[in-house]
């Protein structure tokens, strides 16, 4: 049966044990959601094996399987660790849960967020009192685990962003350890990551509006490879926000599920939760506040699958599970806040993989914390809990006959992978032979190959390749090599190290001259973005150019700015403002006032706040009038304070006379509320399927549609307020960039016109009736103890209502979609056509639907 777009556009939850009939006069006991109340992929069965007694055994957040089939689990706080003997599959045997009673320095040992059995020992990562990597063994052969040894302590590693997972490395000789971005970097012995990371912001960075991690510098969360005795540490990858877990596939590739910052919803620097392929030497660009690197920055890597808003926890590959082949190859990823276990299906894509996420299991509430495949009984187990919420242990089995297919993943596109791994072999050491291997990849169309080649190049003596980089003719190779040259020639000012290289003004001039030879008009959008990024890093590390260099840069780029590319213009304007270009105000304010989305507007407003020259009274007034309109915009918990900081910095650039003249505008308050991106549009007509389908079928085939106008219509209908598309937009709903892969024009149009026609219980919002007579309708977005936090307004990500689970009378899926009807009523027929083409294009402005021929 066809699924409605409202099922995709608004994600809610399946019914749970709390979806009861009839009112109850007294508070209900809180238990884990039964397995038969969860939504699960066809052919699979979920059993709730155990509802954890919270007061005695806590709230479980971590687990691993032992060779004999038992599980080790840990409470997040002070209840310790437990051995779990699962009942045999298909029997009525009872589960057995036994406290391990471990002690370290006379105190109860637990608070594990990483567990792994390897090298005949249990390795434990503690996140809390005594944070560190520990090894647990038995003092007697064949006896109970009873001896705890600290291998390495972690500094400032407490909190939910502290040290996390540990797993066995596929080489069979080492461990891999995962640490979140509040864990100070461990003193490493060797590194695969070039130690040239920095903040590299051209304009002053906005810290988090609520002060979260405001003083913490990059590179953020790290992943290490460690010897079994814990003595030798290799830095393998950096730049994560708070990756809780990681997993290796059968080919030795490492993957993780990194977190977003929900306080940044509806800002241009928001990055969704995402699956990352963790290649050797990789960097993923976490920086605090508004400083996070966009996915397109050349000095970091993108995710391979954007999931959307959520709280990433445990991950595991289905390897060894008694599942169909498709699911044995899948990466399973837990989302704690939205109650979903994704199966991410991977396929080869050049030097990396690409992923497609399937909602494998979902429920409400279902605060998933960790997941493992038990290699003894070949079932999957997952736990729920965390933050002292009700915890449960579940088992997943496949109930139908398994018809395996011959896997082809290992044979597809292995050459790019081998090229990447060749380059990675030169990371961490200097070898003159490396240039012949890595240099060709600098010009690759494959971003992952270019990245690996550059990181290897940065380990080589720059005297051997600097002239070659300056003389390079191929645009991609020139841009990539010069980025490497900038990074190795001068440290970022915020990361100055003893005896660090001094920025050489003469070298800056040579690099600027080399970059100036590139024909900007002939570069692709990707190459333009990477070129502008080189300017950002160059000026940040080498400082303001000379007057002649500044004039040359402005003369080259003023005629081509703005380019019409939203992201290229957003990066270029930062350089114009840094150089205090005379035309930056005129062009920047026009971009600001014409931009169709609040994200794009904020990008320009953020840059213009530092501009001190080229202002006229009219431009100043237009700029500050934007802040009045922006008072109506909505976003995450830090959103309003980010806007306040932008305005504060901008006011500091005003003269005393300007402050007096602009006082009415500076003090003005916006009328009304809600997200207003464009001026209100007049009613056109109430469109119907019968009216529009003939127009759609003919119009899309004829081509000639307008991509940019389609984007404007996506904003005009407030779609950007809730949805990401082509790397911009809100976060209340899922990313719609790939909607064409699931919907044809008819299905897409029908679901927009009548979003409530078919609302699957798997995707509906919840409707809650409380014992004290209140009704709450919305999407569950967070949990804390017995409190359920429900977002009741999709236009306001920060608008939440708390409901205590003990006070719930009835909770059921809502039959009304939270996607509003009537979205097309202000659009003319041609505008509907442009919107449909935009949605179905997957963000490709070169799609045949936009062909003007």
Rounded mean pLDDT, 706-727: 82
Strands 368-373, 728-729: parallel, antiparallel or unpaired by DSSP? unpaired
Residue 784 has pLDDT above 80, yes or no: no
Residue 758 has pLDDT above 70, yes or no: no
- pLDDT at residue number 414: 67
DSSP H stretches of helix in 276-406? 325-328
- pLDDT at residue number 10: 35
How many Å apart are CA 527 and CA 521, to the nearest integer?
Answer: 11
Strands 233-240, 282-283: parallel, antiparallel or unpaired by DSSP? parallel
Rounded mean pLDDT, 278-294: 97
Residue 836 contacts residue 696 (beta carbons within 8 Å) = yes
- pLDDT at residue number 522: 97
For residue 562, say if its preceding peptide bond is cis, omega within 30 degrees of 0. yes
- pLDDT at residue number 14: 32
| Tens-place pLDDT, residues 16-36 | 333 333 444 455 567 899 999
Residue 403 has pLDDT above 80, yes or no: no
- pLDDT at residue number 408: 41
Rounded mean pLDDT, 782-802: 73
Which whole-number Å values give the CA distances from 393 to 62, 86, 367, 398, 837, in the listed order?
Answer: 11, 10, 11, 17, 46
| Tens-place pLDDT, residues 528-586 | 999 999 999 999 999 999 999 999 999 999 999 999 999 999 999 999 999 999 999 99
Return the higher-pLDDT residue of 28 and 170.
170
Nearest-10 crossing angle of helices 639-651, 617-630: 160
Residue 208 has pLDDT above 80, yes or no: yes
Which whole-number Å values give the CA distances from 572 to 442, 534, 591, 649, in the listed order?
Answer: 23, 11, 12, 20
Please tell me the least confidently modeled range out of 93-107, 195-209, 218-232, 821-835. 821-835
Mean pLDDT of the chain: 89
- pLDDT at residue number 61: 97
Residue 409 has pLDDT above 80, yes or no: no
- pLDDT at residue number 569: 98
| Tens-place pLDDT, residues 455-488 | 999 999 999 999 999 999 999 999 999 999 999 9
Rounded mean pLDDT, 710-731: 79
Residue 815 has pLDDT above 70, yes or no: no
- pLDDT at residue number 257: 98
Please tell me the least confidently modeled range out of 136-145, 220-229, 604-613. 136-145
How many Å apart are CA 33 and CA 363, to the nearest integer?
Answer: 8
Strands 352-362, 107-108: parallel, antiparallel or unpaired by DSSP? unpaired
Nearest-10 crossing angle of helices 525-542, 475-489: 20
- pLDDT at residue number 6: 35
Longest pairwise C-alpha distance within the chain: 83
Structure tokens at 388: 């002292």
Assign 794 a pLDDT band (cuts: 50, 70, 90): low
Residue 492 has pLDDT above 50, yes or no: yes
Residue 675 has pLDDT above 60, yes or no: no
Residue 84 contacts residue 391 (beta carbons within 8 Å) = no
Return the higher-pLDDT residue of 203 and 684.
203
* Ramachandran assignment for 413, one of left (phi > 0), alpha (psi -120 to 50 degrees), beta (any other): left
- pLDDT at residue number 7: 34
Residue 225 has pLDDT above 80, yes or no: yes
Assign 69 a pLDDT band (cuts: 50, 70, 90): very high
Residue 404 has pLDDT above 70, yes or no: no
Assign 15 a pLDDT band (cuts: 50, 70, 90): very low
Assign 764 a pLDDT band (cuts: 50, 70, 90): low
- pLDDT at residue number 693: 87
Three-state secondary structure readout of 151-213: EEECCCCCCCCCEEEEEECCCCCCEEEEECCCCCCCCCCEECCCCCCCCCCCCCCCCCCCCCC
Q: Which residue has the tokens 């997972």?
A: 165
Residue 8 has pLDDT above 60, yes or no: no
Nearest-10 crossing angle of helices 689-702, 829-840: 60
Assign 12 a pLDDT band (cuts: 50, 70, 90): very low
- pLDDT at residue number 537: 98
Rounded mean pLDDT, 118-146: 94
Residue 199 has pLDDT above 70, yes or no: yes
Strand partners, 383: 370, 393
Q: Using the 8-state DSSP alphabet, how is residue 293 labeled?
A: P
Assign 839 a pLDDT band (cuts: 50, 70, 90): confident
- Among residues 758, 719, 760, 761, the alpha carbon closest in space to that of 736 is found at 719
Which whole-number Å values give the CA distances from 313 to 263, 356, 709, in the listed order?
Answer: 18, 18, 39
- pLDDT at residue number 26: 55
Rounded mean pLDDT, 48-67: 97
- pLDDT at residue number 5: 34
Query: Could you tell me the pTM of the whole model?
Result: 0.87
């Amino acid at each position: 049966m066809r699924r409605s777009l409202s099922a995709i556009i608004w994600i809610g939850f399946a019914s749970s044990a709390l979806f009861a009939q009839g009112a109850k006069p007294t508070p209900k006991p809180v238990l884990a959601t039964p397995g038969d109340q969860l939504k699960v992929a066809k052919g699979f069965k979920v059993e709730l094996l155990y509802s954890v007694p919270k007061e005695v055994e806590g709230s479980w957040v971590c687990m691993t399987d032992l060779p004999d089939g038992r599980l080790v689990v840990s409470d997040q706080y002070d209840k310790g660790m437990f051995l779990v003997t699962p009942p045999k599959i298909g029997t009525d045997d009872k589960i057995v849960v036994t406290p391990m009673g471990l002690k370290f320095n006379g105190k109860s040992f637990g608070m594990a967020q990483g567990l792994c059995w390897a090298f005949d020992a249990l390795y434990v990562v503690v996140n809390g009192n005594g944070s560190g990597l520990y090894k647990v063994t038995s003092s007697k052969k064949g006896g109970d685990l009873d001896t705890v040894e600290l291998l390495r302590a972690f500094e400032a590693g407490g909190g939910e962003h502290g040290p996390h997972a540990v797993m066995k490395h596929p080489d069979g000789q080492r461990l891999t350890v995962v640490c979140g971005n509040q864990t100070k970097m461990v003193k490493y012995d060797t590194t695969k990551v070039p130690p040239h990371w920095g903040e590299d912001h051209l304009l002053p960075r906005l810290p988090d509006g609520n002060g979260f991690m405001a003083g913490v510098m990059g590179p953020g969360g790290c992943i290490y490879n460690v010897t079994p005795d814990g003595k030798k540490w290799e830095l393998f990858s950096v730049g994560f926000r708070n990756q809780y877990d990681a997993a290796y596939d059968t080919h030795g590739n490492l993957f993780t599920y990194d977190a977003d910052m929900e306080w940044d919803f509806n800002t241009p620097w928001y990055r969704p939760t995402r699956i990352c392929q963790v290649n050797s030497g990789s960097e993923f660009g976490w920086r605090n506040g508004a400083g996070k690197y966009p996915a397109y920055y050349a000095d970091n890597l993108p995710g391979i699958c954007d999931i959307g808003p959520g709280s990433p926890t445990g991950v595991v590959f289905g390897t060894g599970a008694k599942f169909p082949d498709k699911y044995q190859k899948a990466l399973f990823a837990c989302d704690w806040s939205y109650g979903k276990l994704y199966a991410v299906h991977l396929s080869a894509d050049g030097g990396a993989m690409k992923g497609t996420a399937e909602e494998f299991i979902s429920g409400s509430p279902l605060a998933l914390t960790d997941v493992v495949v038990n290699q003894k009984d070949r079932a999957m187990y997952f736990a729920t809990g965390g933050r002292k919420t009700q915890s449960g242990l579940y088992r997943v089995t496949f109930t139908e006959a398994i018809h395996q297919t011959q896997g082809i993943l290992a044979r597809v596109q292995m050459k790019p992978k081998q090229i990447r791994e060749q380059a990675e072999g030169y990371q961490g050491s200097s070898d003159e032979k490396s240039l012949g291997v890595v240099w060709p990849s600098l010009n690759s169309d494959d971003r992952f190959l270019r990245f690996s080649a550059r990181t290897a190049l940065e380990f080589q003596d720059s005297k051997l390749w600097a002239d070659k980089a300056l003389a390079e003719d191929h645009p991609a190779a020139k841009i990539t090599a010069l980025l490497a040259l900038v990074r190795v020639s001068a440290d970022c000012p915020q990361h100055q190290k003893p005896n660090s290289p001094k920025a050489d003004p003469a070298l800056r001039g040579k690099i600027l001259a080399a970059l100036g030879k590139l024909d900007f008009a002939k570069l692709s959008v990707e190459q333009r973005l990477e070129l502008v990024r080189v300017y950002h890093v160059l000026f940040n590390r080498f400082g303001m150019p000379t007057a002649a260099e500044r004039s040359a840069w402005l003369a080259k780029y003023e005629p081509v700015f703005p380019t019409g590319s939203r992201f290229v213009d957003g990066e270029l304007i930062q350089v114009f403002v840094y150089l205090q270009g005379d035309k930056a105000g005129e062009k920047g304010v026009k971009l600001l006032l014409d931009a169709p989305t609040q994200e794009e507007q904020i990008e320009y407003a953020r840059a213009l706040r530092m501009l001190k020259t080229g202002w006229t009274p009219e431009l100043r007034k237009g700029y500050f009038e934007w802040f009045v309109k922006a008072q109506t915009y909505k976003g995450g918990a830090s959103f309003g304070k980010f806007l306040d900081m932008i305005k504060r910095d901008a006011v500091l650039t005003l003269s005393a006379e300007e402050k007096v003249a602009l006082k009415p505008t500076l003090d003005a308050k916006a009328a009304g509320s809600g997200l207003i991106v464009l001026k209100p549009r007049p009613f056109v007509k109430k469109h119907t399927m019968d009216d529009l389908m003939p127009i759609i079928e003919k119009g899309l085939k004829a081509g000639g549609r307008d991509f940019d106008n389609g984007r404007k219509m996506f904003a005009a209908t407030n779609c950007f307020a809730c949805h990401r598309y082509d790397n911009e937009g809100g976060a209340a709903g899922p990313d719609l960039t790939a909607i064409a892969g699931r919907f044809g024009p008819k299905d897409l149009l029908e679901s927009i016109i009548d979003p409530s026609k078919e609302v699957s219980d798997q995707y509906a919002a919840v409707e809650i009736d409380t014992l004290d007579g209140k009704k709450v309708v919305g999407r569950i977005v967070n949990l804390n103890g017995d409190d359920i936090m429900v977002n009741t307004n999709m236009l306001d990500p920060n608008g939440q209502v708390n409901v205590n689970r003990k006070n719930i009378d009835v909770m059921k899926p809502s039959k009304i979609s939270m996607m509003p009807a009537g979205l097309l009523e202000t659009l003319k027929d041609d505008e509907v056509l442009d919107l449909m083409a935009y949605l179905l294009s997957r963000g490709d402005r070169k799609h045949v639907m936009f062909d003007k021929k």
